[in-house]
Structure 1
Amino acid sequence: MENPGLRRRPVQRRSIDRVERILDACARLLDEVGLDALTISDVARSAGVPAGTIYQFFDGRPGMLRELALRNLELLLARLRVRIAAEPALTWPRAAEVVLAETVAMRRSVPGFTVVDFADTRPGGASFLPVGSVQESGDVLAERLYHFALEEAGLPALPDPYRVMRLAIQATAAVLHLSFSSTPQGDRAMVEQGRRLLRAYFVDVSSETFR
């Protein structure tokens, strides 16, 4: 899927490195100053590039944030590939636990992830991901995770999959909000409650596949 916030995809190594440096600077500044105070000029200064270079690649600040969100999604998928390689007999309930665990780990370690994870899910906030097949933010995440589960993890198809995935994503977002609102490392007991909730939900919905 094309990213409408990216003006052009870099192909030369030098340009690729420059884009990665811009995104790294953006992520660092999100942790330092927050979303509302983030400016193109500050990102350019931190990345060591002219501000015009950012506009060569990105459609302003929203495009830069959208690309950072997509990079975080690709990072999650890469981490999941490592996990599923070690768990060949994966089930939907176990997969839900693994996704939660990896997302929590990213929340603790990936710069900027507490502000822009896979999309901006603040109430009333703009989405930094391109829309999916329907007009709701977050569909890209639901689609990518579901197709990953079927095509790479070998899980069986679910009934009503996009509603299931979107609900699970929102539940995970709520777990993260509750877990990390009071401590930067997260409330482990709240994460455990979220794991139990997601596991129980996927035990129920995945059992419909075999009825």
Structure 2
Amino acid sequence: MIATWCRSASVTANSFAESEHESCLLNSAPMSRRSATPTREPQRRSPSQRRSRERVATILDTTADLVVADGVDALSTRRIAEAAGVPVASIYQYFADKEEIILELVKRDTAEMDEDVAAAVGALDALNVRSVVTATMRAFLDVYARRKEFVAIYFHGRSNRAVMEFCREHNEQIAASLHAVMWEAGLLTEDADLARGRFAVEIGDRILEQAFRDSFTGDQRVIDDGIELLVGYLERFATEAGRSGVRRG
């Protein structure tokens, strides 16, 4: 579920409401115009009802299409609203600005990546360094093919600090998860600590950045060479099982 968003500026109910049932929550206490007591900022709505969830999905899907077509820099909340066929006020019910929309789009896409990576690694009959690295990279590539907006945001338009921070933390989570899988399977020696796992993920990130720098399809030669580079690095710290493989079940 999308988190409740808080805006920094105070707004009136009419700025947000489309109907009596969709108005924002405002401070119910009366306040005179000259009062020095600040009003409570309106609380960003969480899309709990089906119509609200569908509207948020429409906003995100429309934003994705615009980012792919025109790039991140051309994006604006007004343009998103026009393309989505919704009032601008409807967007501000859920998002403070276009940067929050972009961040939510990235969160949606990375959640899909996590699911695909888990499924790809979980489907392996045998685990070794090469199979885990290859399955992980291929899972990322499958999502990039479906979610071109992520490529546009992350590789072509790195201007959103919140997105960069979120992706940095996401890379650390990926490193921890993959390190745990390979360690528990007996694929790594004691020299392969989590710091080296993080380094490997950062290498993978730079490889994909290079591969997708100029296109949405990626340079296959860079991808293939990058996988070999990653495998070679991690096999320096692999056990015999990490090289030859451990069958599951």
TM-score (norm 2): 0.66
Deviation at 1:147, TM superposition (A): 3.3
Which of 100, 107, 112 does residue 70 from structure 1 map onto?
107
Deviation at 1:92, TM superposition (A): 4.3
Identity of aligned residues (%): 24
Which of 22, 30, 35 does residue 72 from structure 2 map onto?
35
Query: Structure 2 CA distance, aligned partners of 1:68 and 1:14?
Result: 19
Change in Cα spacing, 1:5 to 1:72, as seen in structure 2 (3 Å) is: farther
Question: CA offsets per residue over residues 14-54 of structure 1, 9 Å max, x none?
Answer: 21121111111111111111111110111112222211222
Deviation at 1:112, TM superposition (A): 0.6
Change in Cα spacing, 1:148 to 1:78, as seen in structure 2 (3 Å) is: same
Deviation at 1:71, TM superposition (A): 0.6
Point out the more displaced range, 42-51 or 101-110: 101-110
Looking at CA atoms only, which structure, 1 or 2, has the larger radius of gyration? 2
Which of 202, 207, 220 does residue 170 from structure 1 map onto?
202
Change in Cα spacing, 1:145 to 1:167, as seen in structure 2 (3 Å) is: closer
Aligned positions of 1:48-63 closer than 5 A: 48-63=85-100
Deviation at 1:164, TM superposition (A): 3.1
Query: Structure 1 CA distance, aligned partners of 2:125 and 2:61?
Result: 34
**1:112 paired to 2:112:** no
**1:101 paired to 2:138:** yes
Change in Cα spacing, 1:144 to 1:100, as seen in structure 2 (3 Å) is: closer
SS of residue in 1 equivalent to 2:60: helix
Is the 2:60–2:101 Cα contact (8 Å) retained in structure 1?
A: yes
Which of 58, 70, 74 does residue 21 from structure 1 map onto?
58
Question: CA offsets per residue over residues 65-120 of structure 1, 9 Å max, x none?
Answer: 11111111111012123313321433444222222112223223313121224x98
Change in Cα spacing, 1:121 to 1:148, as seen in structure 2 (3 Å) is: farther
Which of 219, 224, 231 does residue 187 from structure 1 map onto?
219
Query: Structure 1 CA distance, aligned partners of 2:221 and 2:128?
Result: 24
Deviation at 1:10, TM superposition (A): 1.9
**1:143 paired to 2:170:** no
In structure 2, the residue matched to 1:203 is 235
Query: Structure 2 CA distance, aligned partners of 1:170 and 1:120?
Result: 17
Deviation at 1:175, TM superposition (A): 1.6
Point out the more displaced range, 103-112 or 18-27: 103-112
Which of 146, 161, 174 does residue 126 from structure 1 map onto?
161
Which of 109, 123, 126 does residue 86 from structure 1 map onto?
123
Question: CA offsets per residue over residues 121-176 of structure 1, 9 Å max, x none?
Answer: 84x75231655xxxxx60233225523763xxx44267542x33442333223222
Is the 1:121–1:127 Cα contact (8 Å) retained in structure 2?
A: no
Deviation at 1:187, TM superposition (A): 1.8
Question: What residue identity is the alignment partner of 1:177?
Answer: E
Change in Cα spacing, 1:10 to 1:183, as seen in structure 2 (3 Å) is: closer
Query: Structure 2 CA distance, aligned partners of 1:141 and 1:8?
Result: 29
Query: Structure 2 CA distance, aligned partners of 1:64 and 1:168?
Result: 30
Is the 2:120–2:136 Cα contact (8 Å) retained in structure 1?
A: no
SS of residue in 1 equivalent to 2:126: coil
In structure 1, the residue matched to 2:33 is none
Change in Cα spacing, 1:95 to 1:108, as seen in structure 2 (3 Å) is: same
Query: Structure 1 CA distance, aligned partners of 2:171 and 2:132?
Result: 15
Question: What residue identity is the alignment partner of 2:227?
Answer: R
